[in-house]
Copies of this chain bind each other. A is one copy, B any other.
Amino acid sequence: MTTSEAPKFRRYSAEDRAQMLVQAGLACLATGGITAFTIDNICRRAEASRGLIAHHFGGKDGLLAAVYEAAYQPMLATLRPGGEPLPLGVLLDAMFDAESHSPENLRIWLALWGEVAVNPDLRAAHRRNYGLYRNTVELAIEAHCFVRGLRIDAGALATTVIGLIDGLWLEQCIDPEGFDAASARAACKGLLEPLLGPLEVGDGA
């Protein structure tokens, strides 16, 4: 009887709403690839109206850039938790952990890669993040080789190792059957250990 009415929508802070849209965008990529990354899909999933993406990101492209950043961030955070790179064995284990190897995550990356290869704006963002990624791996390899007295071009090997890991990701992603995170990790170590010596989790010192 009173004038109290249920609010027609909830008002979030700009950052909160932005993150909700980014999460919805990631979910769309995971479900249907870049083709499913549409204003309608994303806003439906985020339970928001169609105008919001333009309001918070200036348009679809702005959201895609934010989505790309959001996809990279957890990986970088995992690889150097305190800013300091991990020992190589630990680093590899982190790269093959269950979450980053989830089918959803892999499909997201595949969709993003396809766009990076074709979209100059995304490529700029990629170059920056990939540089950090590669640098982290290179430092870990360098430290590993220094301790063991191995003379190896850490820069070139870093690129190769990243390629190997991403390639194993890729196979697993394209057809998830017959290959899982544990197999991928074993395969990776099997290829690296003849070159680098044993890569145990506890090889810190």
| Contact status A191-B115, CB under 8 Å | no
A190 interface hit (Cβ, 8 Å): yes
Interface SS of chain A: helix
A34 interface hit (Cβ, 8 Å): yes
Using known A-B contacts A113-B114, A166-B167, determine if residue A160 contacts B174 with beta carbons closer than 8 Å: no
Stretch at the interface among A10-18, A81-89, A103-111: A103-111
| Contact status A195-B187, CB under 8 Å | no
Using known A-B contacts A34-B35, A118-B32, determine if residue A179 contacts B160 with beta carbons closer than 8 Å: no
Interface centre among A33, A126, A163, A165 (most CB of B within 10 A): A163
A95 interface hit (Cβ, 8 Å): no
| Bitwise interface map of A from 33 to 57 toward B, beta carbon under 8 Å scored 1, else 0 | 1111000000000000000000000
Chain B residues in 8 Å Cβ range of A65: none
Chain B residues in 8 Å Cβ range of A111: 114
Interface extent on A, as a size class? Answer: 35 or more
| Contact status B33-A175, CB under 8 Å | no
| Contact status B175-A123, CB under 8 Å | yes
Using known A-B contacts A34-B33, A160-B190, determine if residue A170 contacts B113 with beta carbons closer than 8 Å: yes
Residue of B nearest to A186 (CB): B156
Residue of B nearest to A194 (CB): B194
> Which residues of chain A (142-193) have a CB below 8 Å from chain B?
156-157, 159-160, 162-171, 173-175, 179, 183-184, 187-188, 190-192
Known: A160-B164, A191-B195. 16 other contacts (CB 8 A): A33-B34, A33-B114, A35-B35, A107-B118, A110-B117, A111-B114, A117-B174, A123-B175, A126-B175, A130-B175, A156-B190, A160-B187, A162-B171, A163-B187, A164-B164, A194-B195
